[in-house]
Amino acid sequence: MAKLPIDDALYVKPPASPLVEATLGLVQELVRDRLRESGGEWAEFTMAGADDLLTRDDFAAIEARLLASGHRFDWSASISVSERPDAYKAAAGDAGEDVGFSHPDAPTGEVQADGKALRGVGDNVVQHAQDLRGTARYIRSNERVLAYLTDGVPPGTIAVIDDSGGTLTAPIIEQFAGVICAGGTVRSHLGILTREYNIPCLMNAKIAGIRDGDTVVIEASAPAKTTEDYQDGIERVGRVWLLAGEGA
């Protein structure tokens, strides 16, 4: 029987999410079975045979097995949280409640005369004519996305998101008034989506002390950060303020 010419020791790495690991295992099992059934060599299989021996029905069957075994399709942000725990670390408020992200480098300040208190910064995707005021709502689970798909996103929602991929929030993104994302750059998938929908957005945000339901202001009028800024190490940010006495 032909064997896969793979030295597993060369590919040792930390495990991915359970869903990714399960999918990879089933695909590897499928490939091994089809290679064995073909009776051919690995080079022949990869260069020609795989197109005929791996079918759409095979991969549909893999998906069915995953769903039947209890696996679910995770939100992409779970990867970001595991890779950058400092950026997504939750902090406890006075009563022990979760107050959302607490980035160690987030700039914060006291309440000013206008009622605003600095609670973070981020890379502005597009410069808008005015700053944006809205309600911070953490979008960190499939359940919240499904609820918003069913009932609609509350007006004035500024979505606070872990991951820059945009996969989790793509079905409802056009309903957001604004977005604050703890990862990525202005060129990330989520940044591109918000640009296309003309939604004020701060990427690579460092925020602290904002609870779900708080009234916040995004400095959408700040200059947009460019690719050249990243290349040249130029710091150009938009600020995030909490409006004291409002919200959660």
- Please list the residues that pair with 201 across neighbouring strands: 179
- Residue 87: per-residue pLDDT: 54
- Greatest alpha-carbon pair distance for the chain in Å reads 78
DSSP SS3 for 242: strand
CB 105 within 8 A of CB 235: no
- Please list the residues that pair with 26 across neighbouring strands: none
Q: What is the pLDDT along the chain (248 residues), one digit of tens a residue?
A: 445 554 444 445 555 567 677 788 888 898 888 888 888 787 777 776 666 778 888 888 888 887 777 655 544 445 455 555 555 555 544 444 455 778 889 999 999 999 999 999 999 999 999 999 999 999 888 888 889 999 999 999 999 998 777 778 888 999 999 999 998 899 998 999 999 999 999 999 999 999 999 999 999 999 999 989 988 899 999 999 999 876 55
Alpha-helix residue ranges (DSSP H) falling in 165-236: 189-196, 227-232
- Residue 118: per-residue pLDDT: 97
Helices 56-68 and 18-38: crossing angle in degrees, nearest 10, is 140
State if pTM tops 0.75.
no
Domains along the sequence of the chain with CATH: 8-68 (no CATH), 77-243 (3.50.30.10)
Q: Which amino acid is at 147?
A: A
- Residue 75: per-residue pLDDT: 45
Tokens 């005369």 locate to 113
Q: Which amino acid is at 150?
A: T
